[in-house]
Amino acid sequence: MAVLYINPKNRKGHIQKELQGHFSEHLGRCIYEGLYVGENSEIANVNGMRCDVINALKELWIPVLRWPGGCFADEYHWKDGIGPKAGRKKMINTHWGGVVEDNSFGTHEFMELCEQLECKKYINGNLGSGTVQEMSEWVEYMTFEGVSPMADLRKMNGREKNYKVEYFGVGNENWGCGGNMTPSHYSNEYRRYQTFVRTYDHTSPIKKIACGANVDDYYWTEEVLKVCHDPNMMQGLSLHYYTIPGEWLDKGSATDFDASVWYRTMKKTLYMETLINRHGAIMDKYDPEKRIDMIVDEWGSWYDVEPGTNPGFLFQQNTMRDALIAGINLNIFNKHCDRVKMANIAQLVNVLQSVLFTEGAKMVKTPTYHVFSMYKYHQDAELVESFLETEEIGLEEAWKVPNLHESVSISKDGKMHVTINNLSLTESYSVDTLLTETQVASVQGTILTGKMNACNTFDDPERIKPAKFEEFTSMGNKVSFSIPPCSVLHLELELS
Ligand code: AHR
């Protein structure tokens, strides 16, 4: 029997909705085919954006979308992607599969996509191979309202009104694909480039995000903050961490794995919390008032690509293991909402841990999609204090994990949302939830469960889908239930 203690009176911080953000790169079939099929496609679309995908994503209340990369960002030249499509330059996408990029999806198309999704925009600029002028002009092109060469160019290209850009990344992975820089070199470059990322519309200042560390590169975090921790220069510092069950060159299959790989994967995904704590401690040293946000703008599972697919397209299946990865990470972000203000799972459609797959006119929702749909009630809610008694489980000493993992919030309408994951492959656990000085009026539950490698395919698209969960009892301040193995559960409590 586990006990989950919740103290609704102790509000721990605001869960910014951007913690459930997404990422879409010019990579494989994410943008082309996945999101954008062009105006002349036979697939139902509005201004080139697939209707099925837009509708599915809107159900997730998708808060923010990052674009155009990733590694692609540091070789993207935005002027190639504006103006009449016939005249747009073609290039080779050298990072991702060596395919031709025809630039038919550019700035205006991204803005159109975000307008349809009603989400915020996170644009990642090119510091690795672009100039300061190029970056500065992109911001001017998108956001300047008055008379200027770039604003005039935007108007000439059909958009009179300036766009809003909420977040701007100054380079991506500049320690690697974005230029192989040392942290001190990047920091000086950052100071220079960010100077020209100007806010023209002071009612909506652009948040500038610096390239942060890869995984546990604490040296990078320290060195960058040493040089640029002025919150006027930097409003966010990124962190990238992927859950890779195996090694970089042999990551492991998305679907063909055993129980020991399951627990290893769980352990590796839980490592996100250690990274947030340790990078966070360095941030606390330079920014004790927490004015600089931690932005986990790439996270999720990364496996070997599906056999027979282009290795540069990073297409992988998505199973209950991914559902647990999503549930655990979103719980971690909630619990660290004092510092983590945005997180973007990689990537939206058809790439890495996607929420959707497409094939021609067909679309499938992945288990990860369903977790986001169950967790969306945490968006813009208040984190509340919770403590869960757990036990260690697993097959090998080095890869032991807690059996259960939770986070709890109260949304604006006063409802409490408990999201809890059972990491065990074999055991159900009885949980008594006890609320301090608060009575429960009613409970509703939704569960996602299945075999560890169960997934949705185009032939069997609903094998994994949320179901109503009614196996609980509730009296006074207590809710009791039994959570089945390998599952993600959402309980919505009405309080009295
Ligand atoms: O998401 C795929 C790639 O992973 C991104 O382009 C890059 O930033 C990271 O290495």
Q: Is 172 in the pocket of ligand 1 (CB under 6 A)?
A: yes
Distance CA 154, CA 162 (A): 8
* Residue ranges, CATH 3.20.20.80, the chain: 17-379
pLDDT over 70 for what percent of the chain?
100
| Protein residue whose Cα sits closest to atom 4 of ligand 1 | 70
67, 173, 215: residue to mutate for ligand 1 pocket, most atoms within 8 A of CB:
173
Which ligand 1 atom is nearest residue 173's CA? 8
Note if 173 is an active site residue. yes
What is the model's pLDDT at position 296? Answer: 98
- Report, as an integer, the average pLDDT of 166-178: 98
Q: Is 445 in the pocket of ligand 1 (CB under 6 A)?
A: no
As a whole number of Å, the end-to-end CA separation of the chain is: 26
User: What pTM, to 2 d.p., does this model score?
Assistant: 0.98
Give CA torsion, residues 239, 250, 67, 340, to 10 deg.
Answer: -20
Cα 11 to averaged position of ligand 1 atoms, centre (Å)? 35
Helical packing angle, 132-143 and 107-117, nearest 10°? 50
Q: Is 71 in the pocket of ligand 1 (CB under 6 A)?
A: yes
What is the model's pLDDT at position 326? Answer: 99
pLDDT tens digit sequence for 347-362: 999 999 999 999 999 9
- Report, as an integer, the average pLDDT of 445-474: 98
Token pair for 349: 């459609």
Length of the chain: 496
Exactly one of 33, 109, 298, 406 is catalytic; name it: 298
pLDDT tens digit sequence for 182-238: 999 999 999 999 999 999 988 889 999 999 999 999 999 999 999 999 999 999 999
| Protein residue whose Cα sits closest to atom 2 of ligand 1 | 70
Q: Is 298 in the pocket of ligand 1 (CB under 6 A)?
A: yes
Note if 298 is an active site residue. yes
* Residue ranges, CATH 2.60.40.1180, the chain: 2-8+384-495
Q: Is 433 in the pocket of ligand 1 (CB under 6 A)?
A: no
The burial of 240, by beta-carbon neighbours within 10 Å (0-12 exposed, 13-18 middle, 19 or more buried), is given as buried
pLDDT tens digit sequence for 119-144: 999 999 999 999 999 999 999 999 99
Cα 426 to averaged position of ligand 1 atoms, centre (Å)? 34
| Protein residue whose Cα sits closest to atom 9 of ligand 1 | 70
What is the model's pLDDT at position 1? Answer: 86
What is the model's pLDDT at position 352? Answer: 98
Q: Is 173 in the pocket of ligand 1 (CB under 6 A)?
A: yes
Cα 266 to averaged position of ligand 1 atoms, centre (Å)? 21
Q: Is 346 in the pocket of ligand 1 (CB under 6 A)?
A: yes
| Protein residue whose Cα sits closest to atom 8 of ligand 1 | 70
| Protein residue whose Cα sits closest to atom 3 of ligand 1 | 70
- Report, as an integer, the average pLDDT of 309-324: 98
Cα 193 to averaged position of ligand 1 atoms, centre (Å)? 22
Cα 399 to averaged position of ligand 1 atoms, centre (Å)? 26
Distance CA 210, CA 203 (A): 22
Distance CA 186, CA 184 (A): 5
Residue with tokens 């993600």: 488
Exactly one of 173, 189, 223, 406 is catalytic; name it: 173
What is the model's pLDDT at position 295? Answer: 98
Average per-residue pLDDT for the chain: 97
> In the CATH scheme, what is the homologous superfamily, with its name and number, of domain 17-379?
Glycosidases (3.20.20.80)
Q: Rounded to the nearest 5°, which phi and psi values hold at 51?
A: -70, -40
| Protein residue whose Cα sits closest to atom 7 of ligand 1 | 70
- Report, as an integer, the average pLDDT of 304-308: 97
Q: Is 134 in the pocket of ligand 1 (CB under 6 A)?
A: no
pLDDT tens digit sequence for 245-300: 999 999 999 999 999 999 999 999 999 999 999 999 999 999 999 999 999 999 99
Q: Rounded to the nearest 5°, which phi and psi values hold at 152?
A: -65, -40
Read out DSSP for 397-432?
GGG-EESEEEEEEE-TTS-EEEEEEE--SS--EEEE
Half-sphere exposure of 206 (CA within 13 A, CB side): 31
CATH number of 2-8+384-495: 2.60.40.1180
